[in-house]
């Protein structure tokens, strides 16, 4: 079976693109630019010193080496990701040789024509890649033969990314101390990732970095945008959500295994974060049937997934009309989710999803209390 996980390498063009279900809360960074587009559901992205909540159709762009982690705020949250080396942009505009940036859509900008067209091209690129035979592929389809269709679309995406990012690009003021701090933070994060099910204390984490507890607390908040306590809680909640969906364990056992003091504390934290109970979350997620493959903590979606394929087709069709001069508001032309073949189970499910999006703006404050 083939999955939406592709690596394209030909000549001076190299990039990867995939579609995955957002699952494990995994802090990571990489040398590539990341463009993440939410296809369905809701996601919280923690990055550098901020966190951003995204919904369907939203796009976020992260610079190289930007530490970040994603957490699904709804069951079956699906995203499409494009990774490309900054040299892909720098070869056409030198400003991207050393610059950094950050950009994310919101309620005001989400359906600006520039993002409608970017969604269109990203969807077209994925559909073009999916035409390649993957008979010998196991986890990733590597395309190393020239494909004019792929390269034409990709170069157009580069052109659009340069237009979007250049106005917000800046030269970061890096220094050796900052690099050393980043390395220290990596050690602290790695320890938490390996021990979050245990009763961790800020003192343990501070000792790893050689800091006082007070400084470690400020350092953590500055590096990731959320507190030590919030990060550990997110790790535990994400693991609990995965177990709710993929096991039949009793909720009390899941709470204990994920590091919560008792089931009452687990239920309260889960409701505050996901705006629903663990039992209801399991019920909603259980309605979703999807062919996926898990590799290196990512759960990739199969290329024959009817709902996702229809979503990509709609992005292409709707945005084609918008980019060809149709003056109808692009947001008004979006087909309802039920017509897309995505999340069409029942009106009850749609209502539950809508409920889960409520009060995300105050999420961080709630978790820190």
Do the Cβ atoms of 237 and 273 come closer than 8 Å? yes
Assessment of whether the complete model's pTM goes beyond 0.75: no
pLDDT digits (tens, 9 = 90+) for 295-336: 666 789 999 999 999 999 999 996 444 444 443 444 344 444
- Cα torsion 242, 246, 248, 249: sign: negative
Packed helices 228-246 and 278-286: angle between N→C axes, nearest 10 degrees: 50
Same domain, 200 and 269: yes
Same domain, 69 and 218: no
Residue 366: other Cβ atoms inside 10 A? 12
Domain membership of residue 72 as a residue range: 5-172+292-317
Structural domain tally of the chain? 2
DSSP annotation of 249: -
Q: What is the CATH number of the domain that holds 184?
A: 1.10.10.60
For the chain, give the mean pLDDT.
81
Q: How far apart are CA 3 and CA 304, in angstroms?
A: 8
Asked if residue 204 is part of any domain, the answer here is yes
Lowest mean pLDDT among 15-29, 92-106, 146-160, 342-356: 342-356
Asked if residue 328 is part of any domain, the answer here is no
Look at residue 36 in the predicted model and tell me its pLDDT.
97
Asked if residue 201 is part of any domain, the answer here is yes
Q: How far apart are CA 332 and CA 310, in angstroms?
A: 18
Asked if residue 325 is part of any domain, the answer here is no
Asked if residue 346 is part of any domain, the answer here is no
Q: Does the pLDDT value for residue 342 go beyond 80?
A: no
């Amino acid at each position: 079976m083939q999955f939406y996980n592709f690596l394209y390498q030909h000549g001076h063009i190299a990039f990867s693109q995939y579609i995955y279900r957002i699952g494990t809360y995994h802090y990571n960074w990489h040398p590539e630019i990341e463009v993440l587009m939410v296809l369905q559901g809701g996601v919280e992205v923690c990055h550098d010193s901020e966190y951003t909540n995204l919904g369907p159709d939203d796009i976020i762009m992260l610079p190289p080496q930007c530490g970040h982690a994603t957490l699904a705020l709804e069951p079956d949250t699906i995203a499409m990701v494009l990774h490309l080396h900054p040299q892909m942009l720098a070869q056409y505009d030198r400003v991207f040789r050393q610059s950094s940036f950050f950009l994310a859509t919101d309620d005001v900008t989400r359906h600006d024509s520039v993002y409608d067209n970017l969604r269109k091209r990203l969807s077209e690129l994925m559909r073009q890649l999916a035409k390649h035979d993957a008979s010998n592929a196991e986890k990733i389809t590597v395309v190393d033969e020239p494909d004019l269709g792929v390269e034409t679309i990709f170069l157009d995406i580069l052109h659009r990314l340069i237009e979007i990012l250049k106005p917000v690009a800046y030269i970061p003021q890096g220094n050796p101390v900052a690099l050393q701090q980043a390395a220290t933070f990596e050690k602290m994060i790695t320890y938490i990732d390996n021990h979050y099910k245990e009763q961790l204390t800020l003192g343990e984490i501070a000792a790893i970095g050689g800091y006082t507890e007070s400084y470690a607390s400020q350092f953590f908040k500055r590096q990731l945008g959320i507190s030590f306590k919030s990060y550990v809680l997110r790790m535990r909640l994400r693991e609990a959500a995965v177990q709710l969906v993929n096991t039949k364990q009793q909720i009390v056992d899941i709470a204990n295994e994920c590091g919560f003091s008792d089931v009452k504390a687990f239920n309260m934290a889960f409701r505050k974060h996901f705006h629903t109970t663990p039992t209801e979350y399991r019920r909603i997620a259980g309605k979703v049937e999807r062919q996926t493959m898990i590799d290196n903590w990512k759960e990739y979606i199969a290329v024959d997934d009817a709902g996702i394929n229809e979503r990509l087709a709609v992005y292409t069709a709707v945005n084609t009309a918008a980019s060809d001069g149709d003056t109808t508001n692009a947001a008004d032309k979006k087909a309802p989710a039920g017509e897309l073949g995505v999340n069409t189970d029942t009106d009850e499910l749609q209502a539950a999803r809508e409920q889960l999006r409520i009060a995300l703006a105050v999420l961080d404050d709630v978790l820190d209390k």
